[in-house]
Structure 1
Amino acid sequence: MQTEKSSRSTLWASVLSDLQARIEADEFIDRFPTDRELMIHYGVSRHTVREAVRRLDTVDRRPRRGGRIRPVPTALEALMKTLRVLGVRMTTSTADIALHRTDSDVAGVLGADGVTPLLVTTAVLCADDRPLVALETWQLLSASLPGDLAQRILHEQPDPPVVPITQTTTPVTPGAGICGLLGLPEGRAVFCIEALLRVNDTATVWQRAFVRPDRYPCLLQFTAG
């Protein structure tokens, strides 16, 4: 009995290891297989398949239709999720919408000419009615995006997914405008999360999230280079 139990454990662990490798290789971008398809592929029982898949925290299962790989959350989405778990009430308000801003650096990141006009939306994310994040979202005027991205981040709306292409977190000293939105005196340092995001598998946006560091304790790890 001991040997049989150990063998079953090794079997689902082997299936799990192979599935993780296939996910990392982007094999299941469109669809994750059903239990039956996995049983046939690996030649194992339904129990073994389910034991392996149960430990894949990146897969959303759909009965009889397979599943979907959940995109890795952005740093800002992870922060919002943590605060919701802690019972913090999150709200958002749009502070400004500018239709024809130009920024050669941001335009270059979005793959456009430096003089291309951009749509810039500025929102304030509040935790328990106090400003926590000033969020700038830059996009091409031609981009067709699904609603308010700030609202989607707050309420964990997964469809269509927002996938980070690049993201960095750095300490910065923002201008008077951002400090005013966050209720901070000018010259106070904040964390800036900059991210290039893909939405709808086609459109890309550039986001800057300026986060007050004094509201909640946090731990960051910085590496050389």
Structure 2
Amino acid sequence: MGTSGPGPGLGTVGAVNGLDRESTAPLWRQLQGLLLRRIEGGEFANRFPGELALAEEYGVSRQTVRQALRELRAGGILVAERGRQPRVAPPAEITQPVGALYSLFAAVEAAGLKQYSVVRTLDVRADAVVAERLGLEASAPLLYLERLRLAGDEPLALDRVWLPAELAEPLLDADFQHTSLYGELFRRAGLRLDHGCEQIRAVIPTAAERAQLRCDEQAAALSISRLGTASRRPVEWRHTLVRGDRFALTAEFSGRVGYRLLGSRTEFVTA
């Protein structure tokens, strides 16, 4: 890539505006890199230019611009809503290491946001499918807790959890509006989770879920299913639907050690 002029996108067509037409790299790929650097520099915080403006600025076809923007959208850098100008995606407010036996409660508090829950259901019921996952008889009573989790007065997640009632029944008297499940489980039942297995998928929330989470129809979410154990015994089955625009998972990798899950030895503290 050739040298640039006073800034990306300034000056005449050619290497002056950051595009090297003699390079083997496609123009759309070069343009993608230039726009990414401008985004990282905060240049488009208020408004992102349209396709025509970018095509004129860089002296390229609109097809070249479209391909560059398509890649930026695929990488989650830009947000495109039907009938609207693209905009820079805001950074996730809450981040969590992949592989950590983490607490959503603690992650929210660590981000400096007030954590609050609206308790939808707290009762004892039977669920044959969940009971099987917990290694119990199909008719075994389960404590069921369903909450809408909020962070900073905005919905963050829909959280549903099942635990064996024989162990967790003391939690029926707990107030989960602003307290952690794992903290209450330890205080009231003497039970501390020490291991977990999760499956994480990207999903589009249903209309009902979007209404509860207050997200638009283009928004994606993370569907997180967790089996938690204590002393090798399955004691928790949980499903959490988290807004993808407010929550991010992180990991580290390097050429020397490869992919490494952050916090993989962290124990549950609260949730």
Q: Is the 8 A contact 2:223 2:241 kept in 1?
A: yes
> Could you tell me the TM-score, scaled by structure 2's length?
0.43
Higher relative contact order (CA 8 A, sep 6+): 2
1:97 is aligned to 122
The structure with the largest alpha-carbon Rg is 2
Match of 2:237 in 1: 206
Cα distance, 1:137 vs. partner? 0.7
Judging changes above 3 Å, is the alpha-carbon distance between structure 1 residues 85 and 102 closer, same or farther for their aligned structure 2 residues? Answer: closer
Structure 1: tracts of 5 or more residues without a match: 1-71
- Going from structure 1 to structure 2, the CA distance change for 1:122 and 1:103 (only over 3 Å counts) comes to same
For residues 6-34 of structure 1, what are the alpha-carbon distances to aligned partners after superposition, in whole Å with 9 as ceiling and x for unaligned? xxxxxxxxxxxxxxxxxxxxxxxxxxxxx
Determine if the alignment matches structure 1 residue 196 to structure 2 residue 234: no
Query: 1:73 touches 1:163 (CA, 8 Å); kept in 2?
Result: no
Measure the CA separation in 2 of the matches of 1:80 and 1:216: 13
Whether 2:122 is the aligned partner of 1:135: answer: no
Partner residue of 1:119? 143
Contact kept, 8 Å, 1:103 with 1:114, in 2: the verdict is yes
Mark the CA change 1:109 to 1:203 in structure 2 (over 3 Å): closer, same or farther: closer
The amino acid of 2:127's aligned partner reads T
Pick one of 101, 104, 129 that aligns with 1:74: 101
Match of 1:84 among 87, 109, 123: 109
Instruction: Note the C-alpha offset of 1:211.
Output: 0.6
Letter in 2 for 1:143: L
Counting aligned pairs with the same residue, the percent is: 20
Question: What is the distance in 2 between the residues matched to 1:154 and 1:116?
Answer: 21
Aligned partner of residue 180 in structure 2, secondary structure: helix
Matched AA of 1:74? L
RMSD of aligned alpha carbons: 3.7
AA in 1 matched with 2:101: T
TM-score with structure 1 setting the length: 0.51
Give me the whole-angstrom Cα distance separating, in 1, the residues matched to 2:217 and 2:122.
23
Contact 1:118 1:140 in 2 (8 A): yes
Which residue identity is paired with 2:120?
Answer: A
Q: In terms of mean alpha carbon deviation, does 139-148 or 125-134 score higher?
A: 139-148
